[in-house]
């Protein structure tokens, strides 16, 4: 692509053709649209995940989504936009999950297990795992996307975690180091995401156990004596 300098902004989607006065369509038009868009996103995730963004072919994405190649361009400006929409759309909902933690006030022991469980069920066992990996893996070449992710997701997660940890630290329940570096909490989760697909075939990793052990260690055992 002799290419422009990025393209900024959001997706310029087909405006889904108002459902019609007398109900021409049995299936609402915007459901079809959503379906096609979703099919493309799903297919893209699979192709991007297995081949990497650069090596993934839109031909394969289209085939896997069951649409023609040109159809992709009805929903996404270009390959970059498709990638960014995939990441945005998948990771944005994470905000809510973690924001929910903000005002939690359960005991550390239970909280550790709760966070571990959230990670496993809300990320590791879902599509989001692959999207997180893609975000981290390809993010350097999508500065706008990295910024979005930091501003909309990461900084809020960190903020919520900090608030939670600060209160616990004030009560002497956790090390103040965690307030400074909340990244410590999720680090093994990130490692687990990469471990799978690289080394799982040599040495499988029990992610739930790993996360629980880790969180017990830093949240519970780590409390001041």
Partner DNA sequence: AATGAATGAGCGTTCATTCAT
Partner DNA sequence: TATGAATGAACGCTCATTCAT
- Choosing from 41, 49, 80, 189, the residue that interacts with DNA (CB under 7 A) is 80
The size of the interface with DNA (CB under 7 A), counted in residues, is 30
Using the rule CB under 8 A, is 18 a contact of a copy of itself?
no
Sole residue written with tokens 């159809």: 71
Residue 12 vs 102, nearer CB to a copy of itself: 12
Three-state DSSP state, 106: coil
Sequence-ordered list of residues with C-beta below 8 angstroms from that of 69, at least 6 positions apart, any chain: 58, 59, 62
Q: How far apart are CA 172 and CA 95, in angstroms?
A: 28
In the bound complex, what is the minimum distance in angstroms from residue 3's beta carbon to DNA? 5
DSSP letter assigned to residue 146: H
Name the burial class of residue 122, with classes exposed (0-12), middle (13-18) and buried (19+) by CB atoms within 10 angstroms of its CB.
Answer: middle
Closest to DNA by CB, 14 vs 141, is: 14
Site for a copy of itself in 130-189 (CB under 8 A): 136-141, 146-147, 150-151, 154-155, 158, 175, 177-178, 180-181, 183-184, 186-188
Binding stretches for DNA (CB under 7 A): 1-3, 13-17, 24-25, 29, 32-33, 36, 55-59, 67-71, 73-75, 78-80
């Amino acid at each position: 692509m002799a290419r422009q300098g990025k393209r900024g902004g959001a997706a310029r989607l087909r405006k889904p053709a108002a459902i019609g006065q007398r109900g021409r369509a049995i299936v609402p038009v915007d459901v079809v649209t959503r379906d096609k868009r979703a099919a493309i996103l799903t297919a893209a995730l699979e192709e991007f995940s297995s081949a990497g963004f650069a090596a993934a072919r839109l031909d394969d994405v289209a085939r896997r989504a069951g649409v023609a190649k040109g159809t992709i361009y009805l929903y996404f400006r270009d390959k970059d936009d498709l990638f960014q929409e995939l990441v945005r759309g998948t990771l944005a909902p994470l905000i809510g999950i973690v924001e929910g933690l903000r005002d939690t006030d359960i005991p550390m022991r239970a909280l550790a297990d709760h966070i571990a469980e959230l990670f496993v069920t809300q990320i590791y066992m879902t599509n989001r795992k692959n999207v997180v990996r893609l975000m981290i893996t390809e993010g350097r070449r999508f500065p706008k996307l990295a910024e979005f992710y930091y501003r909309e997701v990461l900084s809020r997660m960190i903020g919520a975690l900090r608030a939670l940890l600060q209160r616990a630290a004030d009560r002497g329940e956790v090390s103040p180091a965690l307030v400074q570096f909340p990244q410590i909490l999720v680090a093994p989760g990130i490692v687990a995401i990469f471990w799978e697909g690289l080394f799982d075939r040599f040495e499988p990793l029990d992610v739930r156990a790993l996360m629980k052990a880790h969180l017990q260690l830093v949240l519970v055992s780590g409390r001041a004596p």
